[in-house]
């Protein structure tokens, strides 16, 4: 109960102070205008930063796609190189087999 009474007294005191507050105070008015100007400036900066962020995300996506494409090409090239090496090995084996056959026939 005591805390409720204390809270009520503090609330009444705050309301009295607010009633006495002179909004026409030139210094207060200037401070409010400055705060409003700063708020507007911060909103403009926020929009600029959000636009830059979106732009960076788009750049990131494009670079990621290019990197993925490059990696895919690299994998394909490595696969082709392996296949080519395998074919060369097969041809070498066939050549060796043919040479052996020729050697047999020459004997």
Task: Map out the domains of the chain as residue ranges.
Answer: 2-106
The whole-number pLDDT of residue 9 equals 80
Angstrom CA distances, 79 to 67, 76, 97, stand at 18, 5, 27
Q: Residue 22: what pLDDT?
A: 62
> At CA 81, angle to CA 78 and CA 83, rounded to 5?
110
Q: In which residue ranges of the chain is pLDDT below 70?
A: 1-2, 21-25, 107
pLDDT value of position 2: 65
Tokens at residue 46, please?
């926020």
The span from the CA of 54 to the CA of 69, in Å, is: 23
Task: Output DSSP code: residue 104.
Answer: H
> What DSSP element (H or E) covers 45?
helix 26-106
Q: Which residues are within 8 A (CB) of 23 and not within 5 positions of it... i.e. 6 or more apart? A: 29
Residue 16: per-residue pLDDT: 78
Which residues are within 8 A (CB) of 29 and not within 5 positions of it... i.e. 6 or more apart?
A: 23
């Amino acid at each position: 109960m005591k805390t409720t009474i204390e809270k009520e007294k503090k609330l009444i005191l705050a309301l009295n102070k607010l009633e006495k507050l002179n909004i026409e105070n030139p210094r207060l008015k200037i401070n409010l205008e400055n705060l409003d100007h700063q708020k507007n400036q911060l909103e403009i900066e926020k929009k600029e930063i959000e636009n830059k962020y979106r732009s960076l995300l788009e750049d990131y996506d494009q670079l990621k796609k290019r990197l993925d494409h490059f990696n895919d090409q690299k994998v394909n090239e490595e696969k082709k190189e392996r296949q080519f090496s395998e074919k060369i090995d097969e041809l070498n084996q066939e050549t060796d087999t043919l040479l052996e056959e020729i050697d047999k026939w020459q004997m």
